[in-house]
Amino acid sequence: MAVKVIIPTPLRPYAGKQESVEMEAGNVREALKGLTTRFGELKKHLYSDDGRLRSFVNVYVNDEDIRYLEKEETQLRDGDIVSIVPSIAGGTGK
Amino acid sequence: MASKIKIPNLPETGNPSVALSKEEITRYSRHLIMPEVGMDGQLKLKQAKVLCIGTGGLGAPLGLYLAAAGVGRIGLVDFDKVDLSNLQRQILFDTNDIGRPKIEAATNRLRNLNPDIQIDNFETRLTSENALDILKDYDIVVDGTDNFPTRYLVNDACVILGKPNVYGSIFRFEGQITIFGYPGGPCYRCLYPEPPPPGLVPSCAEGGVLGVLPGIVGAIQAAETLKLIIGKGEPLVGRLLLFDALAMRFRELKLRKNPECPVCGGHPTITKLIDYEEFCGIRGEESASPAQTSVPEISPRELKTRLDRGDDLFILDVREPHEFQICNLGGHLIPLGELSRRVNELDSSREIVAHCRSGKRSAEAVEFLRSAGFRKVLNLKGGILAWSDEVDASVPKY
């Protein structure tokens, strides 16, 4: 399935400074795998050492949090938008 | 759905015994002539008590708009002093305020804007010890802080006290806004159960913020706060609003209450405030990374002496090109992120002094180079900031 993965500003330095990446993927796991294969540095920002998605990084398919769908097994359809939304704490821009 | 729920302590109708003066009627006339606010809404605003945590980038537009709108009692919490580098975005302050406590300058500004309201100030850092006491008198809390420990502290305190928390956070060109702690709605821990470990948060190389971004995000927080008070419209509950100023695009994601949430779930395991610095894996904001404390260092004065003496030292600058443009020590620029593939540009037989802005990234660079077999590598202690302080004051600090 042709999907678009949106990369948030804090992770763009580890993803070739790209805002989004278009790729073929059948589910969320494949999409993220495709991303980390292309951008190796991104891996440690998305996954902890035991291979689980980090708890301060949420992944959405369109507007739904994958934790409330089938997690990384969530199926993707053509045109789906996968968003990576990490926790940011800034308030004053230090 | 959520708009039907009553928030504890907020009156359902404005108390008619709290009338507006003739001046107040004129001051708020553009509210009063709208049926959605009207006299009833304006009286609710007058009776409302809102606590703003932080008076910086987000707190500035927030405080200004809440005061202008006639929120009767506004609490401000901040412990910082106004710095020249704040003025690019913290519009509560002006050049004359540099060096003043923010709380003092902010109170002054808001009192001048609206002398009819009460401003409470708390010149303190919000802590697990004082948070419940400070928050308890207010109807709504607005989070304009800038670090993870305080974010989790504010969240937990709001859940424990049953107060809505109007949340906004920013990074460079992006903002996230929502309301946590609304009756029946999700909290911050439902969205992010844990903070990132300190090593993974963006370093100073990736920081910065477009000055107007906190203005936009803080103004949205102000709008949500006013809506909660007057009880009109659809509050930003169960929805995470994302704003990207570069793309100039708003997006909205669903935010669900986590039934397993340790604070607001059915069987909470966190029922009182904890040690949030420990929870976030840090001790103070400027905690040293392991690399920083263990790599060989050279002080700015020592480096100056050795350069003046004519020692053969290779200066390696590991900052980003846009930082090099701000100021530099004439070093060879290889950004930390490119060091591993550009290591062949370095001569391991020469003595290398690595530096960055504050000494943190260059400590990582030194550690990496030593592991790659370089024997004579030193970290410039305190970076270009310390160089400016101790050796050459003409080098600007940023």
- Picking from B90, B173, B200, the nearest residue to A92 by CB comes out as B90
Task: Please give the CATH superfamily to which domain B290-390 belongs.
Answer: Rhodanese-like domain (3.40.250.10)
Please tell me whether the interface predicted TM-score (ipTM) of this complex is above 0.90.
Answer: yes
Tell whether A16 is within 8 A of chain B (Cβ): no
Distance CA B157, CA B38 (A): 33
Asked if residues B62 and B218 have their Cβ atoms less than 8 Å apart, the reply is: yes
Residues of A in contact with B171 (CB under 8 A): 9-10, 88, 90
What is the set of domains in chain A, with CATH numbers?
2-86 (3.10.20.30)
Of A13, A60, A64, the CB nearest to B206: A13
Residue B203 has pLDDT above 70, yes or no: no
Tell me if chain B has a CB within 8 Å of the CB of A40: no
Region B2-279: CATH code: 3.40.50.720
The mean-pLDDT minimum among B184-198, B199-213, B234-248, B260-274 falls in B199-213
pLDDT at B100: 98
Residue B130 DSSP code: T
Task: Give just the sign of the alpha carbon dihedral B226, B231, B234, B240.
Answer: positive
Q: How far is A78 from chain B (nearest CA, A)?
A: 19
Place B202 in a pLDDT band, splitting at 50, 70 and 90.
low
A28 alpha-carbon distance from chain centroid: 8
Average pLDDT over residues B46-69: 97
How many beta-carbon pairs under 8 angstroms link A with B? Answer: 110
CA gap B80, B60 in Å, rounded: 14
Distance CA B132, CA B120 (A): 16
- Report percent pLDDT > 90 for chain B: 86
- Tokens (6 digits) for B90: 């913290």
Q: What's the whole-number mean pLDDT along residues B340-363?
A: 94
What are the domain boundaries of chain B? 2-279, 290-390
- Which of B66, B95, B20 lies closest to B166, judged by CA? B66
**Sites in chain A below the pLDDT cut of 50:** none
The Cα–Cα gap between A57 and A83 comes to 10
Cα–Cα distance measured from residue B210 to residue B169, given in angstroms and rounded to the nearest whole number: 13
Angle made by CA atoms B33, B35, B37, in degrees to the nearest 5: 85
Chain A interface disruption, residue of B153, B201, B320, most A CBs within 10 A: B201
What would the mean pLDDT of B23-43 be, rounded to a whole number?
97
According to the model, what pLDDT value does residue B2 have?
A: 42
Q: Could you give the 3-state DSSP secondary structure of residue B316? A: strand
**Cβ–Cβ contact B191 with A under 8 A:** yes
Cα–Cα dist A72/A92, whole Å: 34
Question: What pLDDT sits at residue B207?
Answer: 76
Note the pLDDT of residue B198. Answer: 76
What's the CA gap between B234 and B113, in Å, rounded?
29
List the single residue in B192, B244, B256 with the smallest CB-CB distance to A87: B192
Report the mean per-residue pLDDT for chain B: 92
Q: Which residues of B touch A46 (CB under 8 A)?
A: none
Do residue B196 and residue A13 have CB atoms under 8 angstroms apart? no
Catalytic machinery residues of B? 204, 356
Alpha carbons B223 and B98: distance in angstroms, whole number: 29
Give the model's pLDDT for residue B15: 66
Interchain pair A89, B213: CB under 8 A: no
Is pLDDT of B285 > 80? Answer: no
Q: Where are the alpha helices (DSSP H) in chain B?
A: 22-27, 29-32, 38-47, 59-69, 102-113, 131-135, 148-161, 188-191, 213-230, 276-279, 290-294, 300-308, 321-326, 339-342, 360-371, 383-390
